[in-house]
Amino acid sequence: MVIVTLQRDKCIGCNYCVEAAPEQFQMSKKDGKSVLLKSTEKKGFFTIKSHDDSIFENCEKAQKACPVKIITTKKI
């Protein structure tokens, strides 16, 4: 299982996550911040839990590319 978390309120809108993992991230047209697709929100953290291990590599690239370090990716 892959768990990806985005702390959206700290997003600066650089778009690196979308470039690394376009299937999981997109930029909001409303505020220019990143959106973690199909996520659930809890206390400002947006999270997806996926049984599709193939998303791990691209999400990890997004995590490493993020200049404000607001993305976490775990494989359990």
Q: pLDDT per residue over 5-32, tens digit each?
A: 999 999 999 999 999 999 999 999 999 9
Mean pLDDT of 37-65: 97
Partner residues linked to 9 by β-bridges = none
Are the C-beta atoms of 2 and 56 separated by less than 8 Å? yes
- The pTM (predicted TM-score) of the whole model is 0.94
75 and 56 Cβ atoms separated by less than 8 Å: yes
Cβ-based burial of 3 (10 A; exposed 0-12, middle 13-18, buried ≥19): middle
